[in-house]
Structure 1
Amino acid sequence: MSTPPPLAAAPEGVETEAAPEAGVTGRRRSAARLLPPARLASPIPWVIAILIALVVIAAAGGLALRNLTATARADLATAVSVQVIEPNPDLRAARGAAAVKVLTALDGVKSVRQVPEAELAAMLEPWLGEGVSGSEVPIPALIDVELSGKAGPQQIARIEAALAAEVPGARVDAQGDFLRPVYGALAALQWLALGLVALVALATAAAVWLATRNAFAGARETVEIMHLLGATARQIAVVFLRDVLREAALGAVLGALTGAGAVWLLGQQFAALDSGMTGGGTLLLGDWLVIATIPVAAVMLALATARITIALALKDML
């Protein structure tokens, strides 16, 4: 009788037999050793880092604009401006004093302050030039009024009615109305930041999708061997997802640190302006917690994208 030929040697790292209780674990370890150690393209962590940094900066900008808008609305919600327009300086001063007296006696008025003429001239100096006074240019008398409640249309009408008898021609405006175009611009910038976040999320998913497809195509023959050895689609996917998790987490952490550093530097620059308008746009603790979820969400998005990509590729192959 002829001697049967010897069995072919098993590929390196593949267990030919495994105990029943450790069969699944043995196949999984064998599958992990069969695949090459680096399956994703090396630039992927850096691409993810750049994209996450952009998301952090955009999100921080949107949150700061939201805080700025909320602060401005709160500060000006109860503020009213009264202008006494009169060419005659003496009559203008008398009517301004009469307006202050009427406003002080009204219910719901918290404080009244007539802006000094010198302060008005200083504010108008960039447009009117230096040394301009109310006797040379008919600058209206300006009175700042703070109400105990919100300056709505009914409150404005009540103040106008009270001033009509004593100060004819007085103009009453809610200070918040002057900033309505600014509020609209800030809202548009917030939507722009949100759109940028969505676009960068799509770009991150596309980068992970391309990298996973390339990695799977490069290891296609090895995956077929793994399948013949008994590895399930889930076990094969876990091997790929492990690398996706590692590289996505690395890129997300680098991007989050870079973006947070850029946001901090920008915050220092705006704080140096010492402006009341920019002071309301600081980031609060809740905002930083929202920003901290960005790298976590990026890793979850990368894992979900890679899982779907591998599942579709395995479905077409197996």
Structure 2
Amino acid sequence: MILTRKEQARLFAREGFGRVRGLFAPRAASAPLLSHKAVAGPVPWVIAIMTALTVVAAAGGLALASIARTAQADLAGGITVQIAGPAAGEADRQARAALAVLSGAEGVASTRRLGAGEREDLLRPWLGDATLRTGASGEDDLLVMPELIEVRLSGASDPAAVDRVRTLLAKAAPDASASADMDWLGPLREAISALQWLAVALVALLVSATTAAVLLASRSALTANRETIEIMHLLGAHDLQVARMFQRSAALSAAAGGAAGFAVAEATILVLAGKFAALGPGSSAAGLRWFDWVVLVLIPVAGVGLAAVTARLTVLATLRRMP
């Protein structure tokens, strides 16, 4: 075919214009072989919500464990001696006698008698200022506060150690009573244990919900791409090649959702830490140790792996049933 000079010039101009346009406005990339929109869709949002809830629940369980450890460390080996009942003068005499006996006793590391101000601070939340207010000059006090002595043993404050302290106080301070500080920790330990199991159950429930969301999204994506998958099978594609495509899409969706969910959860934990800071050390995010934070960081990472494995197994199981 012979072109005239006019037609050759027109064709040359058209090709040149096309090349210039390609430099500034390149053609759009070809559509992917499989549409992954059905795999992504709402999955990143669902995983973000599930990850945030899971991290907060896990942080709560770890914080409760930190509270229990801190309380046990503070109270281990501690005994409280209380002298209540006698008049203020007699209670003071017995308190001084108890200190003298306990200070040199075997197995006692230290003793400390609480002052009047400390005892008032302990009773004020329960009795109020009006009850603690003393009478006028020359009048009897409205309340005779019990004497309190903190005893720290060199070993554990087991029942045998408490009995030895009571034996030492029998003659020096007959109105004194001794109790291990760990005694009140029993109900608290049971309550913390119940809350920890609740956190574990919540984490398991959230993991199950995340798995179900990825499973449903993968099945939906398979249905949307059924015809394309059949053609790929006719061309010799294996099920593992198809499953790998869906696995990658699910992993990317889980990574995006997990990162967003972890960011929200971390902000929530820090806000709650400020609210609970007044409860003392070990009761807020400051009580979470470095490996507790490592566990929390691994939650979204595990979510990515869970999403990828779930998508892979779901796609392979569905493809085996396809003709």
Provide the TM-score with structure 1 as the length reference: 0.84
Deviation at 1:194, TM superposition (A): 1.0
Q: 3-state SS of the aligned residue for 2:145?
A: coil
Structure-2 residue corresponding to 1:99:
98
Structure with max Cα Rg: 2
1:311 partnered with 2:316 = yes
1:147 is aligned, of 128, 134, 153, to 153
Structure 2: how far apart are the matches of 1:232 and 1:280?
49
Structure 2: how far apart are the matches of 1:222 and 1:174?
73
Structure 2 CA distance for partners of 1:66 and 1:251, relative to 1, 3 Å: same
Stretch of structure 1 that moved more, 181-190 or 199-208: 181-190
Structure-2 residue corresponding to 1:72:
71
Structure 2: how far apart are the matches of 1:123 and 1:165?
28
Deviation at 1:127, TM superposition (A): 3.3
C-alpha root-mean-square deviation of aligned residues, in Å?
Answer: 2.1
Structure 1: how far apart are the matches of 2:147 and 2:251?
66
Q: 3-state SS of the aligned residue for 1:154?
A: helix
Structure-2 residue corresponding to 1:298:
303
Structure 2: how far apart are the matches of 1:126 and 1:260?
34
1:189 partnered with 2:189 = no
| Sequence identity (%) | 43
Structure-2 residue corresponding to 1:113:
112
Stretch of structure 1 that moved more, 144-153 or 278-287: 278-287
Q: 3-state SS of the aligned residue for 1:144?
A: strand
Q: Which runs of 5+ in 1 are unaligned?
A: 1-29
Structure-2 residue corresponding to 1:278:
283
Letter in 2 for 1:179: L
Deviation at 1:164, TM superposition (A): 1.1
Structure 2 CA distance for partners of 1:34 and 1:181, relative to 1, 3 Å: same
Deviation at 1:219, TM superposition (A): 0.8
Q: 3-state SS of the aligned residue for 1:40?
A: helix
Structure-2 residue corresponding to 1:132:
133
Structure 2: how far apart are the matches of 1:159 and 1:277?
31
Structure-1 residue corresponding to 2:217:
211
Letter in 1 for 2:79: V
Q: 3-state SS of the aligned residue for 1:142?
A: strand
1:289 partnered with 2:294 = yes
1:132-158 CA distance string (max 9 Å, x none): 359432432111111122111111111
Kept after mapping to 2: 8 A contact 1:64/1:281: no
Provide the TM-score with structure 2 as the length reference: 0.83
Letter in 2 for 1:293: L
Structure 2 CA distance for partners of 1:196 and 1:105, relative to 1, 3 Å: same
Kept after mapping to 1: 8 A contact 2:99/2:111: yes
Kept after mapping to 1: 8 A contact 2:63/2:282: no
Structure-2 residue corresponding to 1:26:
none
Structure-2 residue corresponding to 1:264:
270
Q: 3-state SS of the aligned residue for 1:82?
A: strand
Q: Which runs of 5+ in 2 are unaligned?
A: 1-29, 135-139
1:223 is aligned, of 224, 229, 246, to 229
